[in-house]
Chains A and B, each alone.
Chain A
Amino acid sequence: MAALDRVKVLVLGDSGVGKSLLVHLLCQNQVLGNPSWTVGCSVDVRIHDYKEGTPEEKTYYIELWDVGGSVGSATSVKSTRTVFYNLLNGIILVHDLTNKKSLQNLYRWSLEALNRDVAPTGVLVANGDYDREQFADNQIPLLVIETKLDQIPETKRNEVLTRTAFLAEDFNAEEINLDYTNPRYLAAGSSNAVKLSRFFDKVIEKRYFLRDGNQIPGFSERKRPISMRHAR
């Protein structure tokens, strides 16, 4: 097979929400038996057919970069992590339905990746009060995935899911609910699989078709140490 074009998608979220499981599921179509903590970043590759079933069908590599750690990590870890945020084309935000804080932390995760400055308040804002303008001119497609649906009792599911729907609206993103013990959720043809492949198509479009093949540098100007800028 000839070398295919590639896009890079980041998978972000708090520690323990299930990003490694998700990446493994998307790339190997199996549930990972013994997940362990991700140190640094782990990458996996998925082959995706852009515009499947149409005459313009083309195959691309999708690199899923699963970055470990938490929003509250030490600044040294955060500065090291920014190395992975280079040249990204899409972001998948993962949170845990059993843990409200992982939902709130997604704002900070996305801001960290999009390289904006976070206001140093330390108080997490409730849904709906958040400044949507931060994401208004964002060109990078976002997808929100919720995990551990099986651990929420039936009675509470509606309440939990409406809450998460607000978040997805804030990000102007699609959302998918997941339960790893039930592989039906991502089976071909299900609505989740459709959303997923629509997201990947959007990422590929933004990267390759919107600027006549010119590379979008991910964000305006990545922060670099001043010495580096002058050295060029």
Chain B
Amino acid sequence: MSFLIDSSIMVTSQVLFFGFGWLFFMRKLFKDYEVRQYVVQVIFSVTFAFSCTMFELIIFEILGVLNSSSRYFHWKLNLCVILLILVFMVPFYIGYFVVSNIRLLHRQKLLFACVLWLTFMYFFWKLGDPFPILSPKHGILSIEQLISRVGVIGVTLMALLSGFGAVNCPYTYMSYFLRNVTDADILALERRLLQTMDMIVSKKKRIAVAHRTMFQRGEVHNKPTGFWGMIKSVTTSVSGSENLSLIQQEVDALEELSRQLFLETADLHATKERIEYSKTFQGKYFNFLGYFFSIYCVWKIFMATINIVFDRVGKTDPVTRGIEITVNYLGIQFDVKFWSQHISFILVGIIIVTSIRGLLITLTKFFYAISSSKSSNVIVLLLAQIMGMYFVSSVLLIRMSMPLEYRTIITEVLGELQFNFYHRWFDVIFLVSALSSILFLYLAHKQAPEKHMAL
């Protein structure tokens, strides 16, 4: 009986998450596009719903809500469904939509989609070989095999995003790094841009006039097509068309210049806006936060280095350790069990919410930057795949932040994975990502004022 109640609670919450994913998709991701294929929207929302349910189960674990056996059952069920989606459904649909974009293969869409999926499975399987992920006594299609590989990909993604985010966040928040931009600079650049456009226009006018006179004289403008056409054009080129091709080359160069100028002007406008924003109260608040985050970032890099160098994996989670410190050193006595439960709930809750929100924001930005009307379906499915893998590996890693008694269910359900390996891998990739982001941002920052000064 209680199992039924528990299941109905789970199902209701899943429906809620599904609705949220649906809305997010419609309002934010596909703001500028029309949804032609509802399959994509459904898959995205389903992935989102099942990932959030996993986090919900962790919270229930800490709070002790629902029956323990029904929790275990739902864990297993959830995990199976998510793996099914991430390994079978989403890659297949990605292949299907990629194939439907290519006109040649339109006939046998399904066949080619299956071929693509099989290639994906092959590489996915091979991924497990170089890593000491699990003890070799499990069958081929067990949960552990699949989760271990999904975990590797997801942890890499998490560490990359986390490393870049840790460095980028203080860089964008702090106004120390803002370059000084005046209105005169912007006007000067705009003037250059318009001058370039005028030069392009006048050259194009010459080309158009030349075409028209050639057309009126009855000469047909033959573009050299194919191999023989090119050979012919070497020997029988008209002097007029040579002149034209020279002008055309100049036009191409000028167009490239105009694009550069446009991007630089947009950049200057953006910097000016940021300078104005930093003078407001909110801007000052973020500036202060930026200093705080930079200290945090340095500390994290330091800890990651220490972990790798000394081959250390934290045995106790921060909550228990914090409580130990307060009890032993500060001599404050309080009910350990009660407080550890609540504090770990809050801590884990914060981690979950910020990682979900951060991921959704990053995905949205990424989507706006690279999608077009043709590839929007494929990109959204890729994002759903990334999201699913990210959330699954968050569950793996979150195990570290929880006290021992709550870790058991994750260990039970996920089987005998080498969790320590994942933490080590996360530290390595995080370090690499953070250091290369610092290098990248340093170079970008250095290059910009030089370009600016050269005007």
Residues of A whose CB lies within 8 Å of any CB of B are 1, 4, 14-17, 27, 37, 39-47, 61, 63, 70, 72, 74-77, 79-80, 83-84, 86, 96, 98-102, 105, 225, 227-228
Q: Do A42 and B267 touch across chains, with their CB atoms under 8 A apart?
A: no
Interface of A: prevailing SS: mixed
Can you name the residue of chain B whose Cβ is closest to the Cβ of A63? Answer: B201
Q: For the complex, is B372 an interface residue (Cβ under 8 Å from A)?
A: yes
Q: Do A43 and B200 touch across chains, with their CB atoms under 8 A apart?
A: yes
Can you name the residue of chain B whose Cβ is closest to the Cβ of A30? Answer: B223
B contact residues, range: 35 or more
Can you name the residue of chain A whose Cβ is closest to the Cβ of B215? Answer: A29
Q: Do B259 and A100 touch across chains, with their CB atoms under 8 A apart?
A: no
B residues near A27, Cβ cutoff 8 Å: 208
Q: Which of B83-91, B166-174, B190-198, B415-423 contacts A (4 or more CB under 8 A)?
A: B190-198
Binary interface profile of B, 246-262, with partner A (CB < 8 Å = 1, else 0)?
Answer: 00000000010011011
Can you name the residue of chain B whose Cβ is closest to the Cβ of A27? Answer: B208
Q: Do B32 and A101 touch across chains, with their CB atoms under 8 A apart?
A: yes
Among the listed B205, B259, B267, B270, which residue makes an inter-chain contact with A40, where contact means beta carbons less than 8 Å apart? Answer: B259
Known: A47-B212, A76-B269. A41 touches B34 (CB 8 A): no
Q: Do B372 and A16 touch across chains, with their CB atoms under 8 A apart?
A: yes
A residues near B259, Cβ cutoff 8 Å: 39-40
Binary interface profile of B, 285-311, with partner A (CB < 8 Å = 1, else 0)?
Answer: 000000000000000000000000000
Q: Do A16 and B265 touch across chains, with their CB atoms under 8 A apart?
A: no
Among the listed A14, A37, A43, which residue makes an inter-chain contact with B32, where contact means beta carbons less than 8 Å apart? Answer: A14
A residues near B267, Cβ cutoff 8 Å: 76
Q: Do A43 and B374 touch across chains, with their CB atoms under 8 A apart?
A: no
Give the number of residue pairs across the A-B interface with Cβ within 8 Å: 89
CA distance A77 to B269 in the complex (A): 8
Binary interface profile of B, 269-282, with partner A (CB < 8 Å = 1, else 0)?
Answer: 11011000000000
B residues near A80, Cβ cutoff 8 Å: 190, 262, 265-266, 269
CA distance A40 to B258 in the complex (A): 8
CA distance A228 to B182 in the complex (A): 12
Q: Do B373 and A99 touch across chains, with their CB atoms under 8 A apart?
A: yes
A residues near B34, Cβ cutoff 8 Å: 98-101
B residues near A1, Cβ cutoff 8 Å: 209, 213
CA distance A109 to B370 in the complex (A): 21
Q: For the complex, is B187 an interface residue (Cβ under 8 Å from A)?
A: yes
A residues near B190, Cβ cutoff 8 Å: 80, 83
Q: Do B209 and A47 touch across chains, with their CB atoms under 8 A apart?
A: yes
Extra A-B contacts (20), CB below 8 Å, given A37-B372, A101-B34, A228-B183: A40-B261, A41-B262, A43-B204, A45-B201, A45-B208, A47-B212, A61-B208, A63-B201, A72-B32, A75-B273, A79-B269, A83-B193, A83-B194, A84-B197, A98-B34, A99-B33, A99-B34, A101-B32, A105-B32, A227-B183
